[in-house]
Amino acid sequence: MTASHGGRGRRVTPARAAYTVTFSRLSLLLLAVGAIHHHLVKNGRRVRAGLVVEAGDIWETHHYATVIGYGANAVSPYLALDTVRNIYNSKLISKELNLEEAEKNYIKAVGAGLLKIFSKMGISTLQSYHGAQIFEAIGLSRSVVDKFFTGTVSRIEGLDLDGIAKEILVRHRLAFPEKPIPVNTLEVGGVYQWKRRGEEHLFNPETISLLQQAARNGDYEVYKQFAEKVNIQSEKAITLRSLLQFSERTPIPIDEVEPKEEIFRRFATGAMSFGSISHEAHSTLAIAMNRIGAKSNSGEGGEDEIRFQRKENGDWERSAIKQVASGRFGVTSNYLTNANELQIKIAQGAKPGEGGQLPGHKVDEWIGRVRHSTPGVGLISPPPHHDIYSIEDLAQLIFDLKNANREARINVKLVSEIGVGTIAAGVAKGKADVVLISGFDGGTGASPISSIRHAGLPWELGLSETHQTLVLNDLRSRITVQVDGQMRTGRDLAVATLLGAEEWGISTAALVVEGCILMRKCHLNTCPVGIATQRKELREVFNGHPDHVVNYFTFLAQEFREIMAELGYRTVNEMVGQADVLRVREDLDFWKLKTLDLSPVITKIESPPSVGLYKRMDQDHELDRILDWKLIEASKSALEKADPVSAEFEIRNTDRAVGAMLSNEISKKFGSVGLPDNTINIKLRGSAGQSFGAFSTKGIRFELEGEANDYFGKGLSGAQLIICPDREAKFEAKKNIIIGNVAFYGATSGEAYIRGMAGERFCVRNSGVTAVVEGVGDHGCEYMTGGYAVILGPTGRNFAAGMSGGIAYVYDPENNFSINCNKEMVDFDPLENDDLMRIRKLIETHRKFTRSGIAKIILDDFENAVQSFIKVMPKDYKKVLLKHKAKEQVVPESVSNNIV
């Protein structure tokens, strides 16, 4: 490795020393990089040199990411490229290309992988990621970390230099054996798939078949065999919790322990979207969980309304927890109304910082409809929620959702990583009812490979940190703490409870009970057991049954109660947070395990008895004096008999989420159909607070005279929003901002007429609203998937980024729109008759409702003015529409369900 002086120097001549020692995995290489980088930083010389790495043991994206994250400016992966050459020369590449192209493809793939990793953290350039050290270390001692990876967190200690050296020697001895090894094949590895002589996996052929057998036959003895294989990992120590044991306490008879029904209501299955898994797999979980008084989770794909009604035999397919993820797929007022819990997904345990991804071929007609999106078009949830850029924003969203369904608990899902305790404290202060700490294990087989092993952290760390932080700040008693991440047995639940959780989520194991055999082909839509697929012929062989799922959770509760009895706990509440009952095992001899220090995890914070250790009181959501109560009062006869009503009110900027609670009442009564347009006519004058018109349903027409703040029309579900400046305003409407940022985020239907300009991210993730506005800021129509946006003025830059559906019409008489548009996913198409009619009608309506000046100007000279309109047409959307036309199929909205 060399550092070459001189900023411009393109010539890098690495001196490759004559090594006889092979580098082991990444440890030696990464140590060297970190050491040199930090040494130069400490001496103030870092910027004078570039760090070039030439190594044989770099091939996966994560390897590149760590080396760059710890200081390398450039990487020469000689063995990886040699391998490409070898593959090429062995004629294993079926495509026609030459060696140079093959090498370029590999390098391009590395770049794409790195880009994915950067973007997870909100970083757009390599330069920003370089030296940023966005990692946490697990299993490395502080001494090593402080010297070589200064600043990186390492919470449970681990290997020191001697230990690392020992690891390297192991590999060295195999690579340069003293006597010849009569084996001529490389080890199979088994890191990403189970292999017999490879890495240990807790889900292996034995445990999978035991669990399935136990659940299918209702056999508790077989379940116990499964639990034993998972719980007792001994020296293999795959999970942190396997290193812990319970202290001796006075046992009590098991009949004194609270009954299993009390345990059941603390269970949830994790968020797995309809779309990633089949309807059959998804609804089976819901039926089972509903049966036992627990909760299943919709995931982020919306939910088909037919599931909200109970079936004739009493089965209920409705997901008790409805997730609100960054894509806001299918999040309508009715969706939110039909829930016991609303979960805001800040991140996923298994792919933190990333949004979910559903490949296009898995978005069929049904899924497209439920998600209010276009079938065949891939769905990417943007990493951040565009309405959460701060803790205050999160508090706002919690408020919005609480308004949209005040009977539901509001749950915030966080991922286990250093600092999650602080975030959880913020979440508690933001009035969330539940916080979920999600561990790094598990997740779907469709995750990118670098995420599977290298993203997120064990829940043991995040949960203990969260509980301790909440207790320290006396916030613990007002929020429920939930945990998930590859929990499989009652013992896992017990450890989690002692570390601070009072509810638990189980996902993978529940799917295994439904037949999942961990194919890890979820992303290919070929799941042979009908779970992670949308193919009809595969869904037909789905073999899961709610009874099996119920059996499994019954066994979990039983095993958990047995442990409670052993430890002398009558109720779960008594057990929460009693971390001092856990001890590190003394009977583990393996040298690596002895270097760990789990004390930070099993510390019980000292706290006075007044500080609760589990949820004891409700949050004060401050809903008593909101404006919507008045709106609901005024709309009484509309709600009872669908009579048209009208009313006028003053509005102030402390009136937030106006319309959400009223819409909840409408949805409760009238479902997603709502009321006829303008049944409830509300005129408002003044400054509207955040989230004006949030989740507002069909039947409401808000006419706001004044201005509004951010999140205007968030999640709009069919209402009509009209806004124009105050009658006494003297400024020119079309040149001034009248609504804030992130308008219509996740909106699914409705109309809006805005006389004035909008801020940034107008119509981000819009799925079906028709909106007319007179100018927008940057990132207009970002990630839009449906609806129509008519922009009668200038746009900011990066318009239509990620836009995969819907159409935007931009009025561009000055010809400067093109440079502001992100053309990656859209084309500029000529206007057809449909478009002309649509534009005309919308502008006429806009003029009628708002007396817009620019509307009048355009209408007065329509034939000419319309020439200046640009039709922004998403490529994917166009393709799908053409395909439909060719097949003469009915357009998505009217497709019927194909439930087998």
Partner 1 sequence: MGKPTGFLEFKRELPKTKDSKERIKDYKEIYLDFGEHKILDQAARCMDCGVPFCHSGCPLGNIIPEFNDAVYHKDWDKAYMILSSTNNFPEFTGRICPAPCETSCVLGINNPPVTIELIEKTIIENAFEKGLVQPHIPAKRTGKKVAVVGSGPAGLAAASQMNKAGHWVTVFERDDRIGGLLRYGIPDFKLEKWIIDRRINLMMEAGIVFKTKSEVGKNVNANELMTEYDALILCTGSTVPRDLPIPGRDLKGIHFAMDFLTQQNKRVAGDQFMRKDEILATDKDVIVIGGGDTGSDCVGTSNRHGAKSITQIELLAKPPDERDSNNPWPQWPMILRTSSSHEEGCDRYWSVLTKEFIGERGRLKGLKVVDIKWSVNKKTGKSGFEEIKGTERILPCNLALLSIGFVHPEHDNVIEQLEINVNKQGNVSDIDFQTNIDKVFTAGDMRRGQSLVVWAISEGREAARNADRFLMGEKSLLEARDESLWELA
Q: Binder to partner 1 among 10, 196, 625, 641 (CB under 8 A)?
A: 196
- Assess 505 for contact with partner 1 (CB under 8 A): no
Single-letter code of the amino acid located at 435: V
Residue span binding partner 1 (CB under 8 A) among the ranges 118-126, 188-196, 422-430, 492-500: 188-196
Q: Binder to partner 1 among 127, 128, 309, 543 (CB under 8 A)?
A: 543
CA gyration radius for the chain? 29
* CA dihedral for 357, 361, 365, 366, sign (positive or negative): negative
Q: Which is nearer to partner 1, 515 or 674 (CB)?
A: 515
- Assess 536 for contact with partner 1 (CB under 8 A): no
- Assess 97 for contact with partner 1 (CB under 8 A): no
Q: What are phi and psi of 307, to 5 degrees?
A: -80, -10
Q: Binder to partner 1 among 10, 11, 197, 641 (CB under 8 A)?
A: 197
Q: Binder to partner 1 among 2, 4, 204, 340 (CB under 8 A)?
A: 204
Q: How far is CA 814 from CA 393, 794, 810, 822, 839, in A?
A: 36, 9, 11, 18, 19
891: which DSSP letter? Answer: P
| 736, two tokens | 């001034």
How big is the site for partner 1, counted in residues (CB under 8 A)? 50
| 264, two tokens | 């059941």
Strand ranges in 765-898 using DSSP code E only, listed in sequence order? 767-773, 785-791, 805-811, 826-829, 869-874
Q: How far is CA 343 from CA 121, 268, 405, 463, in A?
A: 22, 12, 12, 18
Q: What span, in angstroms and rounded, lies between the C-alpha atoms of 875 and 174?
A: 53
Classify the phi-psi angles of 256: left when phi > 0, otherwise alpha if psi is within -120 to 50, otherwise beta: alpha
Report the side by side order of strands in the sheet with 680-688.
Answer: 645-651, 680-688, 700-708, 717-724, 749-754, 767-773, 785-791, 805-811, 869-874, 826-829
Q: How far is CA 200 from CA 174, 192, 223, in A?
A: 20, 11, 20
Q: Which is nearer to partner 1, 178 or 888 (CB)?
A: 178
Residue span binding partner 1 (CB under 8 A) among the ranges 241-249, 464-472, 525-533, 710-718: 525-533
Residue span binding partner 1 (CB under 8 A) among the ranges 246-254, 527-535, 546-554, 655-663: 527-535
Residues 6+ apart with CB under 8 A from 691: 396, 399, 400, 656, 657, 658, 660, 710, 711, 712, 714
- Each residue 579-618 as x (binds partner 1 by CB under 8 A) or -, in order, gives ----------------------------------------
- 723 forms beta bridges with 704, 754
Classify the phi-psi angles of 889: left when phi > 0, otherwise alpha if psi is within -120 to 50, otherwise beta: beta
274: which DSSP letter? Answer: B
Q: Which is nearer to partner 1, 324 or 532 (CB)?
A: 532
3-class SS at 743?
Answer: coil
Residue closest to 295 by CA, chosen among 575, 133, 510: 510
- Assess 179 for contact with partner 1 (CB under 8 A): yes
- Assess 188 for contact with partner 1 (CB under 8 A): yes
Residues 6+ apart with CB under 8 A from 93: 87, 102
> At its nearest, how many Å lie between partner 1 and the CB of residue 145?
25
Q: Binder to partner 1 among 26, 153, 391, 518 (CB under 8 A)?
A: 518
- 51 forms beta bridges with 3
- Assess 208 for contact with partner 1 (CB under 8 A): yes
- Assess 528 for contact with partner 1 (CB under 8 A): yes
Q: Token match 């009608």: residue?
A: 841
- Assess 21 for contact with partner 1 (CB under 8 A): no
- Each residue 134-173 as x (binds partner 1 by CB under 8 A) or -, in order, gives ------------------------------------xx-x
Q: Binder to partner 1 among 124, 127, 143, 217 (CB under 8 A)?
A: 217
Q: Which of residues 431-460 bind partner 1 (CB under 8 A)?
A: 445
> At its nearest, how many Å lie between partner 1 and the CB of residue 101?
20
> At its nearest, how many Å lie between partner 1 and the CB of residue 300?
23
Q: Binder to partner 1 among 4, 105, 150, 213 (CB under 8 A)?
A: 213
Q: Binder to partner 1 among 453, 521, 875, 878 (CB under 8 A)?
A: 521
Q: Which is nearer to partner 1, 524 or 611 (CB)?
A: 524
- Assess 212 for contact with partner 1 (CB under 8 A): yes
- Assess 537 for contact with partner 1 (CB under 8 A): yes
Residues 441, 466: contact at Cβ < 8 Å?
no
> At its nearest, how many Å lie between partner 1 and the CB of residue 524?
5
Q: What span, in angstroms and rounded, lies between the C-alpha atoms of 329 and 304?
A: 12
Q: Which of residues 657-676 bind partner 1 (CB under 8 A)?
A: none
- Assess 86 for contact with partner 1 (CB under 8 A): no
Cα angle 636-846-763, degrees, rounded to a multiple of 5: 80
Q: Which is nearer to partner 1, 429 or 521 (CB)?
A: 521
- Assess 13 for contact with partner 1 (CB under 8 A): no
- Assess 89 for contact with partner 1 (CB under 8 A): no
| 130, two tokens | 């370089």
> At its nearest, how many Å lie between partner 1 and the CB of residue 203?
7
Q: Binder to partner 1 among 9, 111, 122, 205 (CB under 8 A)?
A: 205
Q: Binder to partner 1 among 15, 18, 47, 92 (CB under 8 A)?
A: 92
First to last CA, the chain: 61
> At its nearest, how many Å lie between partner 1 and the CB of residue 368?
22
- Assess 816 for contact with partner 1 (CB under 8 A): no
Strand ranges in 570-699 using DSSP code E only, listed in sequence order? 582-584, 645-651, 680-688
> At its nearest, how many Å lie between partner 1 and the CB of residue 528?
6
Single-letter code of the amino acid located at 858: I
Q: Binder to partner 1 among 82, 146, 206, 228 (CB under 8 A)?
A: 206
> At its nearest, how many Å lie between partner 1 and the CB of residue 205?
4
Q: Binder to partner 1 among 106, 135, 194, 862 (CB under 8 A)?
A: 194
| 652, two tokens | 């102030």
Q: How far is CA 525 from the centre of its chain?
A: 20
- Assess 99 for contact with partner 1 (CB under 8 A): no
Residue closest to 249 by CA, chosen among 568, 583, 577: 568
- Assess 519 for contact with partner 1 (CB under 8 A): yes
Residue span binding partner 1 (CB under 8 A) among the ranges 45-53, 418-426, 528-536, 555-563: 528-536
Other beta carbons within 10 Å of 17: 7
Residue span binding partner 1 (CB under 8 A) among the ranges 37-45, 117-125, 358-366, 514-522: 514-522
- Assess 182 for contact with partner 1 (CB under 8 A): yes
| Total number of residues shown for the chain | 900
Q: Which of residues 346-365 bind partner 1 (CB under 8 A)?
A: none
Q: Which is nearer to partner 1, 187 or 824 (CB)?
A: 187
SS3 content of the chain, % helix, strand, coil (to 5): 40, 15, 45
Q: Which is nearer to partner 1, 193 or 798 (CB)?
A: 193
With 0-12 CB in 10 A as exposed, 13-18 as middle and 19+ as buried, what is 108? exposed
Q: Binder to partner 1 among 142, 229, 520, 838 (CB under 8 A)?
A: 520
Q: Binder to partner 1 among 201, 453, 454, 583 (CB under 8 A)?
A: 201
> At its nearest, how many Å lie between partner 1 and the CB of residue 456?
19
Q: What span, in angstroms and rounded, lies between the C-alpha atoms of 119 and 129?
A: 10
Q: Which residues bind partner 1 (CB under 8 A)?
A: 90, 92, 170-171, 173-174, 177, 179-185, 187-188, 192-198, 201, 203-206, 208-209, 212-213, 216-217, 445, 515, 517-521, 524, 526, 528-529, 535, 537-538, 541, 543
